[in-house]
Amino acid sequence: MTVVTLLTDFGLADTYVGQVKGAILAVASSATLVDLTHAVPPQDIRAGAFLLWSAVEPFPAGTVHLAVVDPGVGSARRAVAIRAARGDVFVGPDNGLLGPAVERLGGCAAAVALTEPAYWRSGNLPSATFHGRDVFGPVAGHLAAGVLLEELGYAVDDLQHVSLPVPDGLSGEVLHVDTYGNLVTNLRSDSLPAGFRVRVGQCSVEPAAHYAAVPPGALLALAGSTGLLEIAARDASAAAITGATRATPVVVEPD
């Protein structure tokens, strides 16, 4: 039984996610489907790339990861499948969305353009607006059913790539604001000095070991589950308190 993860910007108000799942299950009825998120900001490739990067490592090697944030759907942009060194296969548009997650799993071992219609949605021409259902979903299903990557199209070695922002020493930025209002930065927690405070906006934030180590409503800095420095607030939203959003500068100041 193969696991297929799904990450999209489709939201849940419409039937798009359900249709993609149907296209996968029509090919691989025993696949286990896992929703990573369908709340990527619409057409925001970099946000989707970060969220995919943050999610793939816990899954077993050999998982199929389907990711669709695709403002170029219907255009000349390629549809691709990429096998990472760990053995996972990523399916989605060639717009950089998949790159950081592939790198997290050891880098690209092989990649193909999805040019073989036999592995698309059976009996239908792909919609110009819904390759998630008509191309990517069926391809993910075929991979889950045991089809080899090399059967899906011709090999490519010039994939598009989106680079997540890299910190400049101890100066970084907010990469993501999660549902709790926690600020996930691009600063690795294992690269920080033994004693420090964090400045974000007009706020100076002290580190703490866990959320309950500070009074309710107080800010704290801690190592998050991704291995990145996070700014949080106990029982409150750090984003609301600091006014920070994605790309807000964050500076670590050694004691």
Other beta carbons within 10 Å of 160 = 16
What domains are defined for the chain?
3-151 (3.40.50.10790), 171-254 (2.40.30.90)
pLDDT in tens, 85-107: 999 999 999 999 999 999 999 99
Predicted local confidence at residue 126, as pLDDT: 84
Q: How far apart are CA 37 and CA 111, in angstroms?
A: 24
Task: Please calculate the CA angle 53-197-200 and round it to the nearest 5 degrees.
Answer: 65
pLDDT surpasses 80 at 123: no
Using 50, 70 and 90 to split pLDDT, how confident is the model at 218?
very high
**What is the rounded average pLDDT of the residues 133-156?**
97
Token pair 């400049």: residue: 168
pLDDT in tens, 153-198: 999 999 999 999 999 999 999 999 999 999 999 999 999 998 999 9
Using 50, 70 and 90 to split pLDDT, how confident is the model at 40?
very high
Token pair 């409503």: residue: 217
The mean pLDDT of the chain is: 96
Residue count (the chain): 255
CA dihedral 120→126→130→132, nearest 10 degrees, is 10
Stretch (H or E) spanning 141: helix 137-144
DSSP string over 69-113: --TTTTSSPPEEEEEETTS-EEEEESSSTTHHHHHHTT-EEEEEE
Task: Write phi, then psi, for 5 (nearest 5 degrees).
Answer: -95, 155
Residue that wins the pLDDT comparison between 74 and 16: 16
Predicted local confidence at residue 125, as pLDDT: 74
Using 50, 70 and 90 to split pLDDT, how confident is the model at 235?
very high
Predicted local confidence at residue 124, as pLDDT: 65
Strands (E), the chain: 3-8, 32-37, 64-68, 79-84, 89-93, 108-113, 171-177, 183-188, 196-200, 203-205, 219-223, 228-233, 249-254
